[in-house]
Structure formats: C-alpha cells, structure tokens
Chain A
C-alpha cells in the first residue's frame, strides 16, 4: 500500500476506534516524524487532546502489509495509553527520580495497558496485533543480554508481555539476570493504575541501585585483591547464554543504546524519507468542513 494512503488509513482507524468506545477527541493530530511511536495527551472537559507520533514513513513508498499491521498495533498501543494511563503519577515520578525511573514505568506500564485493552474488548483483535508487534521487534532486534542494565526497561516490557500470554520467540532472561529476582518481583506486583506502577518502579529503582552499588564494591574489592591490573569482568555479572542471541551479542555496555519497541519499525522506515528538520511537512492539527448558513 502507498505510504500516503496507509497514513490516512491508520489515522482514520485511530479516530474511529476511539470514538467507538464512546469517547471524543477534542483535538487529535498525527505526526509522522518520530523515530518511534509515542503519544502525548491531556484529558480536558471537552474531550481528549492528543498528539500521536509515528515513525517516519515515506508517502511515496510501497509499504508491505506486515508494516501496516505493525502500525495498527502501535496505534492501538498508543490508544491504550490514552484510555488507561494517567499522566500525573508518571510525570511526577520522572521529575522526582530521573529518566531511568520514567523508563522503568514505561516498561511496566506498557504490558499493563495492553492487557487492559485486551480485557476491555475495545479492539477485538488487540492480542493478535500486540503479539505481532512484539514478535517483529524481537525478531529484528533480538533480545537483551541478561546483564545489560540499561535494557532493564525493555526486559520488563517483554517479560510483562510474556505474563500477558503473548508468544515470545526467546526464552526468559530473568533466571540468568543479576537482577532477575527484583524484576520478577516488580512484574508480579498487582497494579491497577499508573500510580501503582510508578510506586513499583520507584521501589524497583531503589533495589536495583542498591544491588548495583554492592556489585561495584565487590568488583573494586576483587580488583584490589588481584592487584588491580588484571582487567576481566566489568561487574555486570556473567555474560549470559541469551547474550549470544539476536543482535544483542554485538552490544557493549556504554556504547549500545537501549532498545525501544518502536526501534524495529523506525529502522525499517527511516531510510525511506529525508530526515532533515527543514523538510518536515506540517501536520494537520484540525481539518474541518464549513457549512453554509442560509437565511
């Protein structure tokens, strides 16, 4: 399908799905300029004011059907945030405890809202769509190494979805992870709102930082005992069996970026459109039709 038509199709789907649940957008705009999918929204008296950002997609390119399914999956995921996420606890936690806590909340909140969407029945094939997106990402990006600290939010997002019952093409990394118990604890905590998720994420962050500090102290002691000149392990635990899977084997601590769910899609599409800031086309913030008011 031509990218141009696909975009309008996805946008129309988002609006229709949202309206079918009896809710109204006061304002809804789409931007196809991101690296990954994201949503920014506020709930106003008149309705929801939302801006949904999708990855760059060339209007003139022929987009395969699988990417279409992925985009619809992302769209429903972002709608899930609009339906079930509260901004305030998330923003407060992020401001108070830093970006990593924000990322942990994201990792825990994503599976929660997806399960809420599935349970709500708003989108009858939501499970299939979400499963398709997760499989696409994992098969393209591979899974994180068990001891890759910066990818903990990604591990939470994937393992949370495994608990939702999705078919994940890689075995769990938690048994091999130095923080496996803590992550397992976080995922098993009952959470019915974003506020609950934020509390769990703050507690998890504390546990992780403590454990990391202990590991660093241990490492320093070992280095002192060995005379400090042997090099060896980086204090991030043993390399896991999972580390050889997918592309993650190539990643090194400090160099590689943390994986995000939209990365696979973004990489897929980013070469299709110029990325320059000046070439960004304006987005339609509102399109309306005037009426003729006859006397």
Chain B
C-alpha cells in the first residue's frame, strides 16, 4: 500500500493537544528530563576559597574551600509499543462521528513523542501486528519425538527508532492508522521489545504498551513481568476498552477513549515514581 507523505505529515501536525493534561505533561517532562547538573560543594579542605566561609576561617576552621561538582543526568529510555491489530479499528460514535481506537492511540503516541523529545529522552515507537493466524503444529523429529509448537508471526512497524530524530519520523507517526490489520502477537512483541530495550545504556528503562487485546495468558504475562524486572525495565500496559490488561503488574484501563491520553500520561508518571499534581 502506497502512503502519501504530505498527508501523513499533515495528520501529524494537525494532532491536537490532549485536553486537561498540562500539569501531567509538565510533571512528566520534569521527571524524564535528562540534564547534567553542575553545582558547587562547600566545606571542602581544598579547592577554591569560599568567601562565605571566611568567618569560619577566623575561628580556625580548615574546611573553607568549595569545589565544582558535576552530577551526570539520569537518562531514560522509553519504548512505546502500539498494538496495530484489526480490532483497533473499532470505536465509539460521538456526535455522529466515529472515533476509532487507533485514531486516539495515534494522537496519544504523537503527544508522547513530542513530550519525550522535549525531555531529551531516547525513545522508540513501534507498532506490531500478526499477519497470519496462530499456527499450531506438531513437529516430529528423527528420534521419533513429537513436539507441539504454537507459533506467532509478528510484524513490527518502526515508527520511530532509537537515535532517529523526531523530525524524520513525522510522516511515519502520521501514518499509524494505515497499518491496522491482523491479530495481536503480544508475547513475541513484548519479549522482543524487552530484549531491544535491555540493550540501551540508560539507567531508567520503560516499556509502554498500548493495546486492546483480550484473553492474555496470565502465566505468560507474569513471566514477561518477571523478566522485565530482572532486566531492570518497568513495563506498563494501558488497556483500551479492555480489562484484560489486569494480568500486567503495572496496568490501567481506559474505557472512555477521550480519557486515554490523560490516563496514559498519569500511569507513566505514576510508574516513574512521582505522584502527579492534580490536573
């Protein structure tokens, strides 16, 4: 399928700001911002003479020097994983207009990317879908053993890759709605994203999943949650009109599509360990 670059760029630029999320966004921005801090430490025994310590010098104190101090920023790496299964075409009718899940997800993804870019966070935005249905095959080996294998076929759509500038991805992010099809290979997509994210050097790593999938296999998700913990990754699932994401350790469900942006930001903020100021 051919995509029109100009139209996709226009879609990106026309994406509205998410309502009632100003405070949330500024809190998130503050939390994610990666800035190296430079300051001065006082009460040192060597360094530059601290004029404010001269009174202490008069009383015989020797720690009257100050030194330049450099605190390296705590970098964050964020992966936003977007479910592009065909069910994302579903939506709600409001004022005679259908709002599709994928349209809302596109808006949230674009807002998130703007925010993360401003916070100088290295981030990656990837969609995923399954082009064929689950395959269940019995594999017989030469030794006569039979293995039952359930296979998932996963296609990733790299809307924004690591180290790619946001400007270069504008059209791709605007084209999110064009890739909706097939099923949800959740396990494979999350597992591969965890592996990819674990390779990043950043201190804080967050995997953010936007999905409307139902009937997750609880033991599989628990396994992925444990794995994420071992890899030092915080995994947050945002369920769109589904409560099935409750199997994830960090999750939230959004029933009202218009609340998706606000709740998604709130959940991200909560996961990062800050209570947000009332929005």
Contacts and interface: CB of A to CB of B under 8 A. Distances in A.
Contacts of B187: 281-282
A43 interface: no
Given A33-B147, A289-B156, A51 B139 contact: yes
A183 to B, nearest CB: 19
Interface stretch (A98-106, A120-128, A164-172, A219-227): A98-106
B141 A38 contact: yes
Interface stretch (A2-10, A230-238, A239-247): A2-10
A281 B223 contact: yes
Contact of A38 (B143, B188, B226): B143
B244 interface: no
Given A287-B156, A293-B3, A260 B143 contact: yes
B190 to A, nearest CB: 11
Contact of B192 (A59, A81, A283, A287): A287
A249 interface: no
B198 A5 contact: yes
Interface in A22-58: 29, 31, 33-36, 38-40, 51, 53
Given A288-B155, A292-B175, A40 B139 contact: yes
Contact of B140 (A40, A277, A288): A40
B141 A53 contact: yes
Contact count band on A: 35 or more
A292 B3 contact: yes
Contacts of B179: 290
Interface in A249-295: 260, 274, 277-290, 292-295
B134 A102 contact: no
Contacts of B140: 40
A4 B2 CA distance: 37
Contact of A59 (B139, B141, B145, B227): B227
B149 interface: yes
A292 B188 contact: no
A230 B220 CA distance: 58
Contact of B227 (A60, A103, A295): A60
A91 B141 CA distance: 10
Contacts of A90: 142
Contact of A102 (B5, B144, B171, B231): B144
Nearest to A295: B2
A36 to B, nearest CB: 8
Contacts of A294: 2-5, 171
Nearest to A153: B143
Interface string B121-152: 00000000000001100011111110111111
Contact of B151 (A81, A102, A284, A295): A284
A102 B142 contact: yes
Nearest to B138: A40
A288 B149 contact: no
B198 A285 contact: no
22 contacts: A4-B231, A31-B149, A36-B143, A38-B145, A51-B139, A53-B139, A60-B226, A60-B227, A94-B144, A102-B144, A277-B148, A281-B191, A281-B223, A282-B152, A282-B220, A283-B150, A283-B152, A284-B151, A284-B154, A285-B153, A287-B188, A290-B179
Given A282-B152, A284-B151, 8 more contacts: A2-B230, A34-B147, A40-B142, A51-B139, A103-B143, A292-B172, A294-B4, A294-B171
Interface of B: 1-5, 134-135, 139-145, 147-158, 171-172, 175, 179, 185, 187-188, 191-192, 194-195, 198, 219-220, 223, 226-227, 230-231
Interface of A: 2, 4-5, 8, 29, 31, 33-36, 38-40, 51, 53, 59-60, 81, 87, 90-91, 94, 99, 102-103, 105-106, 260, 274, 277-290, 292-295
